[in-house]
Structure 1
Amino acid sequence: MAEDESDIAYLFKKLADGTASKEELAAYFELTKDNSLDAEITALMQAELKDNALPEPQDIERINRVYGNIEAAIRIQQPSSEKSNYPFFRRWAAAAAILILAGGGLLYYTQNKPSKDNSQLVANDVAPGHQGATLILASGKKIILTQAVNGKLVKEAGVTISKTANGQLVYNVQDASQGSKMNTLSTDNGETYKVHLPDGSDVWLNSASSLTYNTALNDNGKRMVSLTGEAYFEIAKDKAHPFIVHTDKQDVEVLGTHFNINSYKDEPAVATTLLEGSVKVTSGTNKQVIKPGEQAINNGAGIKVATVDVDNITDWKNGDFNLNHVDFKVAMRKVARWYDVEIIYDKSVPDDMETGGWISRKQKLSAVLKFIESSRLVHFKVEGKKIYVSK
């Protein structure tokens, strides 16, 4: 290699042009391990964006998505001994994402393991989930919201309950003196729904979940709801009336904030993740206050707090599967709830694998499974509503 061929700018240009040889790619990989070159690599990426007129908000979003997919692919394919050098993977994946979206070429190493025929996945395809839920009134009457007409559904205890044209449940209190009635909003596998509560708070309910509350949303000066499954909350500020979310293992108390609670029975712990504001998680005598970007994990024996990637937690609300650094079997439980399928594992599938990448939940099941299969980690076979997973 000529002397200038060891220069990071030269190698980056070769990547952008799609003319890099394997030797030049290897040289680029080696140079990106040097933290002192971060500023220069960033400048090169910015220049590539400017030259290709890409820095629009929607393009930044696309870059982030492609970056996540490439990062996951590199991380999965590299030997475990190399995974400890994680900043290297982040820098290279970011560069690769920008180059792809700028129209440049890209080559990266993958295992030479042949992919198995996945035509069977298409033959047994499953449509994605949809917006839908069941409202159960205090009288026991059930209203299937996908079948209900838009507009006023019912009035009870001085509260009018309506369904909007964009598929959302809205509560309006006309006469609080009439007391309150208990309602439950529930979703099946493959359903999700949003409810606008009488205090102005919004709640997005994930698949196989339920939210129980009284129509006035007031219990001795507190706003109280009970949750099973998973929900994302945007709580209206009201310092005089704390908002409390009760699950079987804990209570979460807020005054006004954005957070997500995952309390599925088939998950090992209740996970409370904060995006804005502050929340207090209480379980027996254990109490923890968490900050934005933190998650409280409650397994019933104690509460642990860790910093997390909130995009991995709230992906479902935005219509995505964000699988970066997600435990494989956790990811497959997300897939099972959304497509209403059963996952059956071969004994060869380990418990400590991670997935990677991003894909929309609007895709059919076959697209999601083929995307996960592209990592060469597992193989899927679909039979009706059952997905068989093997190595």
Structure 2
Amino acid sequence: MAENESNIAYLFKKLADGTASKEELAAYFELTKDNSLDDKITALMQAELKNNATPEIQDTERIDRVYNNIEAAIRVQQPAIEKSNYPFFKRWAAAAAILIVAGGLFYYSQNKPSKNNTQLVANDVAPGQHTATLTLANGQKIVLSNAATGQIAKQAGVSIAKTTNGRVVYTVAGNGDAETGQLNTLSTAKGETYQVNLPDGTQVWLNAASSLTYPARFVGADRKVKLIGEAYFEVAKDKSHPFKVTTNTQEVTVLGTHFNINAYSDETAVATTLLEGSVKVASNTNTEIIKPGQQTLTTARGITINNNPIIEGITDWKDGDFALNNQNFKTAMRKIARWYDVEIIYDASIPDTMQAGGWISRNNNISAILKLIESSGQVHFKVEGRRILVRK
């Protein structure tokens, strides 16, 4: 343990200075797989900020240099990352790069608060919650934050329970009346998120302002669910019974895989992003099969394939984060609006092509998110109740 801590400190320093060899980069990122080193890596990043940014004077050139060095290291290691399919690495690599620069800006703004930052804190909005509403086939509605742990319902020979870690789990408990096709719906409002284990073992994470409709028990040739909004799926493998996700404009068919679907009505396209396995996306007469690391974008004009989606910015919500680097600013603000249940109002000076940036936990109040974005110098925010005014 002590040896690993010493090695990670040595390698992080070389990484930040831009002097690490390719072999040293590989060794550093291999060590990030060790969960016990999380606190050590965080401490190294914080030390880097304290050594190179002060409330009075920010060494912006040094911070920029560190940021560029780490981003370059990530690019060098990217092929190995994709082959290993190790999501923990992706998160820490992004955090290491972004916290060095964005964290320095936070340190400065928190120690020298502007009048506008004071206003943001005074009119703060708390983050969303881990809750949802479960609607059973008979119309009964269960607000899951109010439900006790343990069995909450039973239908079609299936036990429905709420676990201690806050998810709904369906367990086949007997033969039941399997032909009834009883449908359940798990729905979240703005500012809510939840997880469900479906009766076939498939795990689904449901984002804010979304709903998933599914049978209490899968019967027949396929396993079909309907999605409104956004969800991340880890589908249980069953070659004999394809898993199908339908939205208003497309149908996704898989056998067993990990993927994310963003089907919000206020987005320009339905985005299906594949992390593992293979999926077939069909819309009208168009059909595309994609590989891990690809994304389909479905519109009224058909389906197009994006070969280079930024995965961290797509699945960040599932991990409890906002990863906004290289995202369209207004797209990022829609994500924020759904989680904090706020309305975004733009001044005419805000262009549609502006980019966002930064990484921060979704567990923060909205003031922390807005201060991070403001630190870029591109925009300023004013909070009025649950309305966020954006101006240059």
Check conservation: 1:63, 1:101, Cα contact below 8 A.
no
Q: CA deviation at 1:55?
A: 9.3
Q: Distance in 1 between matches of 2:45 and 2:272?
A: 25
Q: Distance in 1 between matches of 2:99 and 2:342?
A: 35
RMSD between superposed Cα atoms in Å: 3.6
Q: Distance in 1 between matches of 2:245 and 2:45?
A: 32
Provide the residue aligned with 2:144 in structure 1.
145
Deviations 1:9-42 (A, max 9, x none): xxx99x85xxxxxxxxxxxxxxxxxxxxxxx843
Q: Is 1:42 aligned with 2:20?
A: yes
Residue pairs, 1:1-391, within 5 angstroms: 41-43=19-21, 46=24, 58=38, 90-91=71-72, 117-179=116-178, 180-218=181-219, 220-306=220-306, 307-391=308-392
Q: CA deviation at 1:88?
A: 8.2
> 3-state SS of the aligned residue for 1:118?
helix
Relative distance call for 1:44 and 1:160 in structure 2 (3 A) is closer
Q: CA deviation at 1:92?
A: 8.6
Q: CA deviation at 1:93?
A: 9.3
Relative distance call for 1:330 and 1:98 in structure 2 (3 A) is closer
Check conservation: 1:65, 1:358, Cα contact below 8 A.
no
Q: CA deviation at 1:300?
A: 2.2
Deviations 1:239-265 (A, max 9, x none): 000000000000000000000000001
- Could you tell which deviates more after superposition, 169-178 or 153-162? 169-178
TM-score normalized by the length of structure 2: 0.75
Deviations 1:68-102 (A, max 9, x none): x9xxxxxxx99xxxxxxx9889339999x979999
Q: Distance in 1 between matches of 2:43 and 2:296?
A: 30
Deviations 1:107-136 (A, max 9, x none): 9xx9xxx96631000000011111000001
How many residues are treated as equivalent by the alignment?
328
Q: Distance in 2 between matches of 1:276 and 1:208?
A: 25
Unpaired runs of 5+ in structure 2? 1-12, 50-59, 62-66, 76-92
Q: CA deviation at 1:284?
A: 0.9
Q: Distance in 1 between matches of 2:43 and 2:310?
A: 17
Q: Distance in 1 between matches of 2:98 and 2:246?
A: 46
Check conservation: 2:98, 2:358, Cα contact below 8 A.
no
Relative distance call for 1:158 and 1:357 in structure 2 (3 A) is same
**Residue identity opposite 1:196 in structure 2:** N
Unpaired runs of 5+ in structure 1? 1-11, 17-39, 70-76, 79-85
Check conservation: 2:71, 2:97, Cα contact below 8 A.
no
Deviations 1:276-318 (A, max 9, x none): 0000000011000111111100012111111212111000000
Q: Distance in 1 between matches of 2:210 and 2:32?
A: 40
> 3-state SS of the aligned residue for 2:339?
helix
**Residue identity opposite 2:351 in structure 1:** P
Check conservation: 1:176, 1:216, Cα contact below 8 A.
no
Deviations 1:306-331 (A, max 9, x none): 12121110000000000010000000
Larger Rg over CA atoms: 1
**Residue identity opposite 1:188 in structure 2:** A
